[in-house]
Amino acid sequence: MKIRDDQQVIKETDVHQKGFCVVIGGANIDIAGVSHADIRMKDSNPGKITFSSGGVARNIAENLARLGVETIFLSCVGNDEFGDRILEECRSSGVDISHVKVSRDYPTSIYLSLHDKNGEMKLAVNDMEGVSDINRDYLDAHTEILQRASVIVADTNLEENVIEYLLTRYDRIPFFFDAVSAAKVIKLSRFLGRIHTLKPNRLEAEILTGIKLENDRDQDKAMDFLLEKGVKQVFISLGEEGIYYGNSEKRTFLKSFPVEVVSSTGSGDAFMGGLVHSYLTEGTIDHAAQSASCAAHLALQCPGAVYKEISAAMLEHMIKKGVN
């Protein structure tokens, strides 16, 4: 694992190399509108509109690269200005984008979101037809890379048959899956036993388990369901309440620290980046939860999808200070 110069607070001898990570999934341009006041539906809301590179998998890849993890990104962008922007920003952050496909058939995907004055996303529309170019033929062309990966991270923007193909062909590689949304997480329901780490939010966990999470007992039942299905470790985001996480040996709750939210876009992707980084440095599940929560804490405080100054040293410092 490569450690950047600005991360030397953590000695290189303290980091145990476990190879590289492959991230597979969506890359798009985020168009975010943040209202200055309470949102009024069916009306024009004064606010601020920003453009930035996004996509769940792309955001995770950038977070990992900035944390010092050697990261190869497998995705697709259009042959257009937005695609060029995404590739350049990924390249400048340290992500290996040499295998990203530039499509002749689809434009770069776009994610349009509307946020309230507190930064909470209220509505979004995604136009991601281009993800269909991340198919078996494309993945077969990168078999050697996938077989040598220490961990594969994927999002549910991938088509269900592609998810099944990946989990079947590369079943010896630990898979970390980001649920993405309640509408897309259902794609994982048949394959839970092949997933190493799953990160759903409350609603996504309810969709997967059929259990309404209204209290601690419900959370335990949902955790039982997912672990009994074969998932090795589960991190359920409960929003402002914190994270409920567990594996076959333990389960517990990690409370979130108060934070002034600028934008919630990208916080879950930063969380996944923290999980994977901890796994690759042989951290415990507790360290993974702390590291991931700190990464999400930083992302919530920035207007874009990724906190550009994030580093492994920063996360370790925050953990020691008790800030997550």
253-271: pLDDT as tens digits? 999 888 888 877 889 999 9
Tokens standing for 149? 């990966």
Q: Domain residue spans in the chain? A: 19-37+47-321
pTM of the predicted model over 0.85: yes
Say if residue 89's pLDDT is above 90. Answer: yes
Alpha carbons 127 and 30: distance in angstroms, whole number: 11
Backbone angles phi, psi at 190, to 5 degrees: -85, -5
Helix (H, G, I), strand (E, B) or coil at 174: coil
pLDDT confidence of 322, banded at 50, 70, 90? confident
Alpha carbons 7 and 229: distance in angstroms, whole number: 38
Amino acid at position 10, single letter: I
Q: What percent of the chain has pLDDT over 90?
A: 77
Say if residue 243's pLDDT is above 60. Answer: yes
Tokens standing for 202? 């409350």
Say if residue 8's pLDDT is above 70. Answer: no
The answer to whether the beta carbons of residues 184 and 156 sit under 8 Å apart is yes
Alpha carbons 218 and 262: distance in angstroms, whole number: 31
CB atoms near residue 185 (< 10 Å): 22
Domain 19-37+47-321: give its CATH code. 3.40.1190.20
Tokens standing for 3? 């450690």
| Tens digits of residue pLDDT in 92-138 | 999 999 999 999 999 999 989 898 988 788 888 989 888 999 999 99
pLDDT confidence of 160, banded at 50, 70, 90? very high
Helix (H, G, I), strand (E, B) or coil at 107: coil
Instruction: Please provide the distance, in angstroms rounded to a whole number, between the alpha carbons at the two ends of the chain.
Output: 24
| Tens digits of residue pLDDT in 134-158 | 999 999 999 999 999 999 999 999 9
H or E segment to which residue 165 belongs: helix 160-169
Alpha carbons 256 and 230: distance in angstroms, whole number: 27
